[in-house]
A and B are shown apart, each in its own frame.
Chain A
């Protein structure tokens, strides 16, 4: 039951929340606006909010000068690749732990969580040297391997919390009705598991897309995803605000949209099911 509030109270809440929300969002909005300005307008004082000559020039410049889409494609391949491979390894594991829990299941899950406590910098040198040895530096394959392993615990945990919610009774009922194991999996379990798998996929793509330790340290030019490409703007020449903004807008737009769809899964996935 919602508590009754006066319209004044509601109006005050609304104004306060909108002001704070817009303040928090402002840097993103400002980046998007700046991406449509000329370089001169981007640094003009007083700042021009909407009253500038809109241009798409920066977007074409960024692509022409630095083949933006190659880095975009690297990001897509790396984040999707590591997520899909991670799911292929994690689905059976999470499935078995959720439906055939043994004495060790809890311990195995906790141990997997503990591997996330390992700071990446602690294994930077071995990974770097191994990659150099096997020719994996600056390759998408190499990053897919590292990101798959890095996110595997989160994938297993997330799937586990989803699978555990599938009522097992329904399987017994199906068995009574004479369903075979194959039919059980195809007609009953799979449809019930798909939403959980989809949420896990979504969250993991977001995490991999934004991963910025391994992507920065293990790539140079060829396999660099957007995180590393954007970092190249840290030592710029000349006026570059509008171009930086255009590159940034394109880098965050897809994930911002995916992210807004995944609010609920985010809470659950990143808290390892502790908060739902």
Chain B
């Protein structure tokens, strides 16, 4: 039973966290919004005239925006599909009885702990480099022509690198979920003569739906903001071929010093992230309350 006294004590204990987060959200957000209506470039000192929706118009009319938008969706979608599909298969495999299960699990989750700049540079140089990379040696052995991954297929290569980083996360969560599956139900289905495929389809997959939703939600939050991997591999290029929205706003803001335009882009990025978030929260809300 909470007394009046303990309630007010609780309020005091919660308020620092709430106030700090509120400030962290509102002050920068307000500033972004404010700047987005001004003509404001750090290289041009002087007044920052009010220009209405001009920055938004310019940002959206720029073909780079649409390229970046599509790239963002392709990157997020590609990584989600790869990590969820492979994650489910890998989780099922790791759940089987085997020797050295603990060690295999350690090997599988390791990429998650590698910092983004390291994994991107290792893949870029040690593996994908068209002259010295391991793939440059391996492909001819397999009868294939040498291939410059980050130049000829930059977005697909980055999608691959990011998938490698996030596969462990999906696998670990799905494995945790699989391990809570009722084995008696499985055995009953097996005795009734259900095939492995139909057991997977009618028992395992429905059981995993909640965990899959969680994986999709959390990965989407992080994947919309992929940045370091692009910065150190392709710098968004060639052209805009591997520029996502985060990178485009960064380039506009800190490379072109265009505060107004960058802010408009930032607001657009926030709106898009929120649209995705609403969809996901709704999908997850159903799943999480159960």
Contacts and interface: CB of A to CB of B under 8 A. Distances in A.
A122 B173 contact: no
A129 B167 contact: no
B82 interface: no
Interface stretch (B15-23, B56-64, B195-203): B15-23
B35 interface: yes
Nearest to B122: A31
A97 B109 CA distance: 32
Interface stretch (A54-62, A184-192, A244-252): A244-252
B277 A117 contact: yes
Interface in A1-21: 1-3, 5, 9-10, 13-14, 16-18, 20-21
A122 B288 contact: no
B263 interface: yes
A153 interface: yes
Given A3-B187, A256-B110, A212 B32 contact: no
A92 interface: yes
A121 B225 contact: yes
How would you classify the secondary structure of chain B's contact residues: helix, strand, loop or mixed? helix
Contacts, number: 289
Interface string A191-226: 000000000000000100110110011000000001
Contact size class for B?
Answer: 35 or more
A112 B14 CA distance: 12
Given A13-B98, A117-B221, A123 B117 contact: no
Contacts of B225: 119-121, 213
Interface in B239-260: 245-246, 249-250, 253-254, 259
A233 interface: yes
Given A24-B167, A121-B249, A213-B228, A102 B10 contact: yes
B262 A13 contact: no
A227 to B, nearest CB: 5
A10 B98 CA distance: 5
B250 A95 contact: no
B121 A230 contact: yes
A43 to B, nearest CB: 4
Contacts of B173: 267, 270-271, 275
A50 interface: no
Contact of B253 (A45, A115, A128, A233): A128
Given A45-B137, A116-B221, A121-B266, A241 B115 contact: no
Contact of A156 (B17, B246, B265, B274): B17
B266 to A, nearest CB: 4
B107 A25 contact: yes
B28 interface: yes
B116 A227 contact: yes
A121 B269 contact: yes
Contacts of B277: 114, 117
Contacts of B121: 230-231, 233-234, 244, 248
Interface of A: 1-3, 5, 9-10, 13-14, 16-18, 20-22, 24-25, 27-28, 30-31, 34, 43, 45-47, 89-90, 92-93, 95-97, 99-102, 108, 112, 114-130, 149, 152-153, 156, 206, 209-210, 212-213, 216-217, 226-228, 230-231, 233-234, 240-241, 244-245, 248, 251-252, 255-256, 258-260, 263, 266-267, 270-271, 274-276
Given A10-B97, A28-B110, A123-B31, 13 more contacts: A24-B110, A24-B167, A25-B111, A100-B10, A102-B2, A119-B270, A128-B254, A212-B117, A230-B121, A231-B228, A260-B109, A270-B218, A275-B211
28 contacts: A3-B97, A3-B183, A13-B96, A17-B104, A24-B167, A25-B111, A47-B137, A89-B16, A96-B11, A100-B7, A102-B7, A121-B246, A123-B29, A123-B32, A125-B263, A210-B116, A213-B246, A217-B250, A230-B121, A234-B124, A234-B232, A252-B118, A255-B113, A259-B110, A260-B106, A266-B109, A271-B218, A275-B210
The 3 closest A-B pairs by CB, nearest first: A126-B31, A123-B28, A259-B113
